[in-house]
Amino acid sequence: MPKTIDYFETTYRSKNVVDWYDKLDFLFPSEKALFEKCKEKILGKKVLDIGIGGGRTTAYFANIDCDYTGVDYIEEFANLVSAKHKQLKIKQCDARVMSMFTDNSFDFILFSFNGIDNMDSESRIKIFKEIFRVLKSDGVFMFSTHNRDYKYFNKMPWQEKWQFKWNYFKLCLVVLKNYPQHLKMKKHEFHGQDYSIINDIAHNFKILTYYISSAKQKKQLESLGFKNTKTFDFNGKDCDLNQKDPWMYYLTNKS
């Protein structure tokens, strides 16, 4: 099976994708709620923001009191955000090998918008281990990841509930137009006991995406030393088993 990062790099370096992320200027309701919950680990503290993309979350941290560092694997994104926020520390960095940071460096680490799901299983574990290493013993790690318990997991729009709305029909047309790409990528999918890697609709079927249930994700984190993992839905509410949202949010720590 090809490395998911091979497709990730090709897709995320393209100008149209960079431009798309550049225009994102909002936080999800869950992020707002969880940032508020974690404010004592953010305000005046050392923050590491992984996978910053076009700077969607960077803009939030730029306006609050914290010692912020933002990183992205894609150099184009790092350069873009660095130009927007010259006063902040923005670096190009592979989250699998964050040797530029010493052990126990950060009070709060964020990996938002399911960025970790663009990695294969081996790379994902390496990233979690590096985050564990650079997180302080009383620090908090927040991230989101695609939810294999989602009731429409691995379904096309027309396999979900029909909607008599123009945006829904427009989405179906876009999917049909790019369906040959999906058929090409589908042979690279993986479905295991603990997780799946599928070619979902993201970026017109150009990438492979990691999906895991909340129970399996908690177990994965626990095996790496993380403790007290809590799960949240799209509104930032506690939610152990979530079948209504395509991805979930996690807060976890080392102690």
Residues 6+ apart with CB under 8 A from 68: 47, 49, 58, 61, 62, 88, 89
What is the reported pLDDT for 96?
97
Query: What residue spans of the chain are helical by DSSP H?
Result: 4-12, 15-22, 29-37, 39-42, 56-62, 75-84, 121-134, 166-177, 179-186, 202-205, 214-223
The CA distance from 224 to 126, in Å, is 10
Vertex 97, ends 249 and 214: CA angle to 5°? 20
What is the reported pLDDT for 134?
98
Confidence of residue 178 (pLDDT cuts 50, 70, 90): very high
What is the reported pLDDT for 113?
98
Average pLDDT over the chain, rounded to whole?
Answer: 96
Please, what are the domains in the chain?
A: 4-148+213-253 (3.40.50.150)
Quick one: average pLDDT of 134-140? 97
**pLDDT above 70 (res 2):** no
Confidence of residue 1 (pLDDT cuts 50, 70, 90): very low
11-55: pLDDT as tens digits: 999 999 999 999 999 999 999 999 999 999 999 999 999 999 999
Contact between 220 and 212 (Cβ < 8 Å) = yes
pTM for the model stands at 0.96
Tell how many helices (H) and how many strands (E) occur in the chain.
Answer: 11, 10
Please provide the size of the chain in residues. 255
From 246, 248, 255, 188, select the one nearest 215 (Cα to Cα).
248
What is the reported pLDDT for 3?
61
185-223: pLDDT as tens digits: 999 999 999 999 999 999 999 999 999 999 999 999 999
Vertex 33, ends 35 and 152: CA angle to 5°? 115
What is the reported pLDDT for 122?
95
Alpha-carbon torsion angle 27, 32, 33, 37, nearest 10? 130
The CA distance from 150 to 85, in Å, is 36
How far is residue 213 from each of residues 40, 190, 248, measured CA to CA in Å? 29, 15, 9
